[in-house]
């Protein structure tokens, strides 16, 4: 998980209203009684199709169930949107923030992409948690650390920016300090390898039976994202992990120019970014995944919709 980097983030410019106004009220999640078989970070889905319930037994490992696809985004409007956000005081607002905002909005409309498989059962995650590896400073010998940021399904792009940057800044302000992730890693690496194998096996055993002993590790979340563009290289297909329950890995590359043709046969040069995705196919079917990622693409190419809250938030099945 050491191939993701993000530049140092500057504090946002002080302004009278930190967030753009929106007329829609905040979403309030329905209260659900915790049932037998639910986990702390997700509720067990009991009404899904028999084939879906069987898939985790046919493909018990997440690496067994990897599907990979790529897409290309026209970022002409996205670039304009990012420049407008920077002018409005959201310093360093960039494509990373926009893509995360689009993904969070997609979860609000297609909640099945926020499911996960654990203990060969399928769960609906109770929160939207994005995982990312960062460098505390852009130096080749600077160690990496992982961050996790939790979002609400009706967050706007500006709110996504504020929450994300708050966590990044907290990890970058004091280069010498260690995050909780760093401390956990330091602790475990002190064990002899034979004992460490046993400890990791014990963590997996408890996790299989519904008890996450180390939920703060970056292997638990809605999705993990990496920017190859910040490294100046194209996107890659990054594996997802059998450890934990992350179901989706997004990687996007550097911007490049692409010739496109309109319906009248006119050719234009447009800036594009490639996105490569690795998914756990057990959480939902291909049609559902395709619908969700087409929605994400629509938001990237028409980002102004992310200034407002969604009209409604769709709940996953029981």
Mean pLDDT of the chain: 89
Across residues 193-220, what is the average pLDDT?
92
pLDDT tens-digit series, residues 131-178: 998 766 656 666 677 889 999 999 999 999 999 999 988 877 666 666
Does 101 map to a domain?
yes
136 in helix, strand or coil? coil
pLDDT of residue 29: 86
Give the other-Cβ count within 10 Å of 151's Cβ.
22
Beta strands in the chain (DSSP E): 42-44, 66-74, 115-118, 121-125, 128-135, 144-151, 223-227, 248-252, 256-261, 267-280
Look at residue 271 and tell me if it is in a domain.
no
**Confidence tier at 6 by pLDDT (50, 70, 90):** very low
Residue 313 lies in a domain: no
Asked if residue 313 lies in contact with residue 108, where contact means CB atoms within 8 angstroms, the answer is: yes
Helix (H, G, I), strand (E, B) or coil at 137: coil
Q: Are 66 and 282 in contact (CB under 8 A)?
A: no
3-state secondary structure of 268: strand
Q: What is the mean pLDDT of residues 235-249?
A: 95
Is 244 a member of any domain? yes
pLDDT at 11: 40
Map residue 115 onto helix, strand or coil.
strand
Count of structural domains within the chain: 1
The answer as to whether 32 is a domain residue is no
What CATH number is attached to the domain comprising 125? 3.30.559.10
Res 15: pLDDT: 41
Greater confidence (260 vs 19) lies with 260
d(CA 100, CA 77): 16
Higher pLDDT, 109 or 133: 109
Is pLDDT at 17 greater than 50 in this prediction? no
pTM of the model: 0.89
End-to-end C-alpha distance for the chain, whole angstroms: 33
Q: Could you give phi then psi for residue 99, rounded to 5 degrees?
A: -65, -40
Residues 6+ apart with CB under 8 A from 203: 213, 214
pLDDT digits (tens, 9 = 90+) for 256-299: 999 988 889 999 999 999 999 999 999 999 999 999 999 999 99
Q: For a pLDDT cut of 90, what percent of the chain falls above it? A: 71
Q: What is the 3-state secondary structure (H, E, C) of 46-60?
A: CCCCHHHHHHHHHCC
pLDDT for 7 equals 43
Task: Give the whole-angstrom CA distance, residue 264 versus residue 250.
Answer: 34
Pick from 27-36, 93-102, 138-147, 150-159: least confident? 138-147
* 317 pLDDT tier (thresholds 50, 70, 90): very high
- pLDDT, residue 231, reads 86
Domain range for residue 212? 42-262+282-307
Q: Is residue 162 part of a domain?
A: yes
The 10s digit of each residue's pLDDT in 211-235 is 998 888 889 999 999 999 888 899 9
pLDDT-derived band at 102, boundaries 50, 70, 90? very high
Nearest to 92 by CA among 6, 167, 9: 9
Angle (CA) 289 294 296, round 5°: 95
């Amino acid at each position: 998980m050491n191939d993701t980097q993000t530049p140092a983030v500057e504090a946002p410019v002080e302004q009278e209203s930190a967030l753009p106004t929106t007329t829609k009220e905040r979403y309030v999640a329905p209260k659900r009684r915790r049932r037998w078989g639910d986990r702390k970070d997700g509720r067990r889905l009991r009404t899904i199709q028999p084939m879906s319930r069987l898939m985790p037994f046919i493909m018990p490992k997440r690496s067994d169930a990897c599907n990979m696809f790529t897409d290309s985004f026209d970022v002409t409007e996205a670039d304009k949107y990012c420049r407008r956000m920077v002018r409005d005081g959201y310093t360093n607002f960039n494509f990373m923030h926009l893509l995360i905002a689009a993904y969070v909005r997609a979860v609000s409309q297609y909640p099945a992409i926020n499911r996960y498989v654990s203990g060969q059962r399928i769960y609906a995650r109770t929160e939207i948690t994005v995982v990312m590896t960062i460098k505390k400073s852009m130096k080749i010998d600077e160690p990496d650390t992982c961050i996790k940021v939790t979002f609400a399904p009706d967050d706007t792009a500006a709110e996504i920016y504020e929450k994300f940057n708050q966590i990044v800044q907290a990890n970058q302000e004091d280069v010498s300090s260690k995050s909780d992730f760093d401390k956990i890693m330091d602790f475990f690496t002190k064990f002899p390898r034979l004992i460490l194998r046993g400890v990791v096996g014990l963590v997996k055993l408890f996790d299989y039976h519904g008890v996450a002993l180390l939920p703060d590790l970056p292997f638990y979340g809605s999705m993990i994202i990496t920017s190859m563009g910040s490294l100046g290289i194209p996107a890659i297909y990054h594996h997802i992990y059998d450890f934990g329950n992350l179901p989706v890995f997004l990687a996007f590359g550097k911007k490049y120019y692409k010739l496109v043709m309109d319906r009248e046969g006119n050719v234009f040069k447009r800036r594009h970014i490639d996105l490569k995705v690795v998914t756990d196919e057990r959480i939902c079917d291909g049609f559902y995944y395709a619908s969700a990622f087409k929605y994400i693409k629509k938001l990237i190419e028409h980002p102004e919709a992310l200034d407002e809250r969604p009209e409604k938030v769709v709940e996953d099945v029981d």
